[in-house]
Structure formats: structure tokens, C-alpha cells
Structure 1
Amino acid sequence: MPLDARLNSLGFAKPPAETRVVVAMSGGVDSSVVAAELAGEGYDVVGVTLQLYDHGAALAKKGACCAGRDIHDARRVAEEMGFPHYVLDYENVFRDAVIDEFAESYLAGATPVPCIRCNERVKFRDLLETAKDLDADCMATGHYIQRKMGDAGAELHRAADAARDQSYFLFSTTREQLDYLRFPLGHLPSKAETRALAVKHGLPVADKPDSQDICFVPDGDYARVIEKLRPGAAEPGEIVDPEGRVLGTHRGVIHYTIGQRRGLGIGGLAEPLYVVRLDVDTRRVVVGPKEMLATRTVPVREVNWLGDGGFEDVAEREITVKVRSTRPPAPAILRARPGGLAEVELLSPEQGVSPGQACVFYAPEGSRILGGGWIWRGA
């Protein structure tokens, strides 16, 4: 009998009923379908939902995941499918590990991606350890990404549906975490397939809309959240051109991001201007023509390497990279540097590359994710 014929769908050589899997349930349709499918296959499913906000206040926040409405929805799915469900209070952990850094990064002139830090520091660290404490064989999530077995072990690959692929937000998943994680939705061709499975199981969240914004900024107003977290953070200053000539005033650097064009309040100019740099120390917003946004060399730190061998062995190699979640991978050259640093040379310049964003590495052919790191100002 071939080895794979002895394995269940999660990769274990034992019956599903003897395989315990913790499912991270956000209350949305994706994780609910994962839990329902696994329960339907006969696995020993345990649902866990993280409470990241005050339960009462969160009920009024539309579009916020891990809030009161979502906890209720996750509990309903667990009750209807007949498996245990636990709610864990992670408010303090989430604030310390994600929200505070988000605020500090914006105050430093960066453009952070808190969803990556949440996966890295909360879901795939603390929650994963909780799953192990519950004697689970693995933890499953509703992320659209694929885990495939290669010659050297588990590999991370992009989702089959490019429109739903979440690899940009999961590049910091470590090899050890990848051994324990499962992503049952990554092979599906479209979100329509997921909703069809939700209907098949009669789930109450089958028609629930997807969350859109950062969960703790459900209205998209980052600056308002930062001002609430850091009173007095929005100090006014000058808008200047690259030579330092004053073109206008602004109401706080936190209201601006690299590449921004609209809302600058400096009309009547001969050509459109874009935010090209944020000088936090002098409280200046520097604007210039679009060509000043073009970036070819991207310094990266805190590299998480998922390719073969050690990252220190990567002297130079051809890859493709994403420097923002909404763009397809573009050809680049990766050069490893000591101390978890790297230099990425983009073969075609990208516009609006900003410190605080992620730079994710992909194999030039196929779907494999090789890791990634964080864009920073250093050379």
C-alpha cells in the first residue's frame, strides 16, 4: 500500500476520529466551512475563537473580525455541527503585539501591515501553542494558501485562486509552524466554491459578507484610531517640495502615506504631486512628481526564509517579489546580507514602495513562497 493511501486528508496515519484538529474560527464563512468540512469527515474538531475587543463595544463595529457578532456566529456553527467551541480573551495580547506597534509605526512615518503581525504574533504563535496544549495533532485555518509536501518537508504555496491568495500576509510563517498548520481551502478554485460548501452544510454564515478593512479600523480611518491611541500625535507641519520650498501646511504626518496624491490641499500646481517622503523629525510631508516614487532597490530586514537550505547560503538568486498585497509578483534579484537582512533589486522599478510594508519572495516559476521580510529605510 502506498504511503499516501494510509494517510488521512490532514496527513496523519490514523483515522479522522482519532485525529484532533483545532480550527481557528473567526466567525466568517471561510473558517466556518473549514470546521464544518472537517467535522463532516469525522475529525475530532475543536473550535477556538479569539476575543480581541471588548465584547459589548465590538457588537456595533460592522466589518470587524473577531468581534462580538463574529464570536456569536462561530459559536452557532459549532453548536449546529456538534463540536466544542472555546472563546479565548486575547485583548491584551492583541493590543501589545499588534495595535501598539501599528500606532508607533505610523508615528515613525511607516505604513504597517498589522494583519501580518497578527498572524505572526497571535494566531500562529499563541493560538498555535494553545492548540498544542489541547493535545491537537494540528491547527487548521480558513486562509487561502496551500501547504504542500516537498523533498525537504512542508512548503508554502500560493492559493489556487489568485484573486483570493493570502500569501502576502503569511510570509512570516516559520517552518516549525508550517509543520503544524493546515489550510484546507487553499486548493479551491474560487470563493464561490467555499460558499457552496457553506450552503451544503446549512451554515448560518453562508451569505455573510467578507471583512474588508483592518479589523480594529473597520471604517478605514487609520489616523483617527492613532489619535485615539496616542493623543496629540497629529501635530501640524509643512508640505514641501524636494528642495524644501513650502507649498502648504498639513494637519499631521499620520494622515499621509507614500504615494498619496489626493487630499494634499495644494491645488493650482502645473503637475500632479505625490507624497514621496515623510520626515517625522521635522513634521514635513515631502511631495514631488510621480517619477520620484520609482524604486529599484528595496532594503529588507527580519527575513523569514522558507526556501531550501539556509538563508545565509543565498548569495544571489533570481526570484519574484510582491511589495504590496494587491500587485502580482514581479521579477527581482535577492541578495542575502548578514543578520537577517537582504537587498532586493527590482528589475522594473515599482512606485510607492514604503517602509513598514512587506516584501514577499516567490520562486520565479511555480507557486512556492520562499519567505520575505520587512521594508525599511536602511541601506
Structure 2
Amino acid sequence: MKKEKVLLGMSGGIDSSMSAWYLQNMGYEVIGITFNTISNSLTDHTPQFIAEAQTLAAQLNIEHHVLDVYNQFKKEVIDYFVDEYLKGRTPNPCIRCNETIKWKLLLEESQRLQCTKISTGHYVNITEKEGFYHIQKGKDPSKDQSYFLWNLPQSILSRCIFPLGSFLKSEVKDKAAKLGFQSIVKKRESMGVCFLQGQDYRSYINDMRPELKNKLKNGEVWNSTGNKIGTHDGFPYYTIGQKRGINLQADHGEYVAKIDAANNRLITAPKNTLFTKHLMIHTYLTSNPSFLQGPQQVDLRIRGLDAVPPTPGTIELIDKELHIHFSNPVWALTPGQSIVFYQDNIVVGGGIVDNMEFNAGNESL
């Protein structure tokens, strides 16, 4: 009997490598693929993560492909990342990559290689609800990556399988050790934005746009009443809610409240004024297109990698604008970041924060 084929995105790390093993044991024929997003020349040398993915594929006796997508990645993700900061926004490159590079190409390559399923090493599950597929939080709350997958369309979700969603990370590491995969067990886990390679994003922007450093330094800092209270090193190096790194004439207890990119100016305000109770967004997606036919009670997650729990709230579509109401005010919402909507730990949709105003002070701070 011919096995069903699944295309697995492989990064050379423990999660995608162990996904290959689990998928094999679930009865699938696994084909691995690794995207080169880091090196602008594969002819000179093979990046370490690609070599590690090739080694693991050989150990598991699975077919493996390398796809050079550096130019596409630079255009769609790296340039977007830099340009968003230069607009005074805070981007999420992982979510952008999922939409424009990673999952788009996984779907295209799965069709080319005649695979019926697509897989990655994310610690999430896939579930069907009312005829539509949704991302669901996995077993391990410390590895929950559902926030970053809100913008996947049904054409992709309908093909997804996530073998690690029912495991804790510690269980996956223990299994890898028992199988003798010591190299991936001992490998340091990568965190943060992949293309930064551990570099601070500010110095990365300087490297990408070296002509801006002198042009942007000594920008003005104004408070919310219109008085100049200090200077800054360049508006792209700050985000909403930041206090450190602002050169104030005195300790005013001020935080960045707005970034005026056109004038290279930061607008600051007291911490207790940086709260939001409601906003409207124009860029959004729901897994079920009819989900927004009326107001919906949801849990709202505004950041993907912190321990802050989701905030209950309501979303309602009014004249093509999605109105979001938080039951409790949230602090330091930032233009460019994503808000993800959950019901019972299932991702029902998400959207991107547009320009907004803080509208809910908190006198207790």
C-alpha cells in the first residue's frame, strides 16, 4: 500500500527533526525541505542549519530538498522589517514570513512533489470546526506558537499536520535522546528573529541603512503637552512603551507614546496614559468567513512571546472596520503588531494594529 506523502519544513533543529521521526511512525512518507533565507550565496558554502537538516534527513533515510529563497525573503521580510521601523511601526517578521514565504512555498512545493500534507515543528494542533480548519494551542503552554499562525488561509490549514502538538518539549527531547540524536538534543535552541542571528535590531537597521545613522541622531523628544524635554538617537530604535535610551533633560517618568517618523520625533507620556480599551483595525482574517456576522466574545492576545495572558474582549465588524473592545485596558499597543483572537484555545482569527490612540488611563500606576 502506497504511503501518504507529507512535506516537512526542516530547519536542522530538534523540533522539525523529531517531527520527521514522529511522522514516519504515524505511517507517512516524509519529504524534507529547507529554505535558505540567510545566505545570499549557496555556491560558496552551505549554511550550518542546512547541513544539519541534510544530516538528519540522511539519518532518517528521507528525501530532502533545499530551496534558495534568499532574494524573495529579503524583499518580502527583511526589507519589510526595516521599512516598518522606518515608518515608526513595530513589525512582526515571523508572521510576515509565514504569509509571504514559508507557508506559501510549502504549499507550492507540496503540490510539485505530490504531497497531500504539509508539516512543521510547531507545538500546535489543527482542528476542524463548522467545516473550517483552525490552529489550536498545543499541549505545552511554554512552547505555544499559535499566535504566529493566525494569517494562514484555508488552502494551507486544510493540509496541515502538526505531530508535536500533543507533546511537551521535554517529552520530545527525552525521545530524541533515547533515539540517539545527541547532536540535536545538545543544540542550543534558536530564539528571536532568525535573520538577525543574535544581532540587536538597531545595529541591524544601521547595517542595512548606514546613511540614516547621522541623519536621525539628536531627534527631539516632546511630551504630550508640546514641550521639548530631551533628545533621542533616532526614532526607528524605539517602540511604544519604551523608556530606556531616551535622553531626557530630567527624569520626567515619561514613556514613548507615539513615534512621529516624518519629523524624527518621539512623543512621550506618563505610563498610566498608555492604555487602550478599544480600537479599530482594517487588516484582519478569520478562519471562518462567516465568523464576524455578529459580535463575538473572544480572548485577545496582543503579544506572542511574553507571559501576559490573553485579555477577554469583543470583536465586531462594522462597515468593513473591525472594532475590538478589551474587557480590561491593555498597555502599550503598538502599530504594526498583531492581535490574535481565540475561543476555547482555538485561533479564530487575527489582525494588525493600525494607527491608534490611547484611550483608557489607569490611575493605579
Match of 2:235 in 1: 253
Query: CA separation of 1:311/1:229 partners in 2, compared to 1, >3 Å: closer, same or farther?
Result: farther
TM-score for the superposition, normalised by structure 1: 0.87
| Equivalent pair of 2:126/2:161 in contact (CA under 8 Å) | yes
| Equivalent pair of 1:240/1:285 in contact (CA under 8 Å) | yes
In 1: Cα distance, 2:195 partner to 2:180 partner: 29
In 1: Cα distance, 2:286 partner to 2:56 partner: 37
TM-score for the superposition, normalised by structure 2: 0.90
Match of 1:266 in 2: 248
| Equivalent pair of 2:232/2:245 in contact (CA under 8 Å) | no
Give the counterpart of 2:327 among 347, 365, 374: 347
Give the counterpart of 2:98 among 115, 119, 123: 119
Give the counterpart of 2:265 among 273, 281, 284: 284
Shift of 1:230: 2.5
Match of 2:22 in 1: 37
Give the counterpart of 2:89 among 94, 110, 118: 110
| Equivalent pair of 2:124/2:136 in contact (CA under 8 Å) | yes
| Equivalent pair of 1:146/1:187 in contact (CA under 8 Å) | yes
Greater shift, 204-213 or 44-53, is seen at: 204-213
| Equivalent pair of 1:145/1:185 in contact (CA under 8 Å) | yes
In 2: Cα distance, 1:156 partner to 1:33 partner: 20
Say yes or no: does 1:202 pair with 2:209.
no
Match of 1:192 in 2: 170
In 2: Cα distance, 1:344 partner to 1:224 partner: 35
Match of 1:63 in 2: none
Alignment of 1:7-22 (within 5 A): 17-22=2-7
In 1: Cα distance, 2:278 partner to 2:350 partner: 15
Query: CA separation of 1:142/1:110 partners in 2, compared to 1, >3 Å: closer, same or farther?
Result: same
Instruction: Structure 2: give runs of 5+ residues left out of the alignment.
Output: 358-365
Q: Secondary structure at the match of 1:369?
A: strand
Give the counterpart of 2:222 among 240, 246, 262: 240
Shift of 1:114: 0.2
Match of 1:5 in 2: none
Aligned residue pair count: 350
Give the counterpart of 1:99 among 78, 83, 97: 78
| Equivalent pair of 1:55/1:68 in contact (CA under 8 Å) | no
Query: CA separation of 1:72/1:338 partners in 2, compared to 1, >3 Å: closer, same or farther?
Result: farther
Greater shift, 208-217 or 107-116, is seen at: 208-217
Say yes or no: does 1:359 pair with 2:344.
no
| Equivalent pair of 2:125/2:137 in contact (CA under 8 Å) | yes
Q: Secondary structure at the match of 2:19?
A: helix
| Equivalent pair of 2:7/2:106 in contact (CA under 8 Å) | no
Shift of 1:55: 6.8
Shift of 1:232: 2.6
Give the counterpart of 1:275 among 247, 256, 262: 256
Shift of 1:337: 3.5
One-letter identity of the residue aligned with 1:133: R
| Equivalent pair of 2:127/2:136 in contact (CA under 8 Å) | yes
Say yes or no: does 1:373 pair with 2:351.
yes
Show structure 1 runs of 4+ deviating over 4 A. Answer: none
Greater shift, 341-350 or 214-223, is seen at: 214-223
Shift of 1:56: 7.3
Q: Deviations over 1:152-199 (max 9, x none)?
A: 2433211121111111101101122100111111111x2101111222
Q: Deviations over 1:34-89 (max 9, x none)?
A: 012222444211110001121779x99xxxxxx81111111111011111111110
Q: Secondary structure at the match of 1:205?
A: helix
In 2: Cα distance, 1:193 partner to 1:55 partner: 36
Shift of 1:311: 4.6
| Equivalent pair of 2:279/2:356 in contact (CA under 8 Å) | no
Q: Secondary structure at the match of 1:206?
A: helix
Match of 1:48 in 2: 33
In 2: Cα distance, 1:209 partner to 1:103 partner: 27
In 2: Cα distance, 1:208 partner to 1:40 partner: 24
Shift of 1:149: 2.9
Query: CA separation of 1:301/1:187 partners in 2, compared to 1, >3 Å: closer, same or farther?
Result: farther
| Equivalent pair of 1:300/1:359 in contact (CA under 8 Å) | no
Instruction: Structure 1: give runs of 5+ residues left out of the alignment.
Output: 1-14, 61-66
| Equivalent pair of 1:56/1:68 in contact (CA under 8 Å) | no
Query: CA separation of 1:195/1:362 partners in 2, compared to 1, >3 Å: closer, same or farther?
Result: same
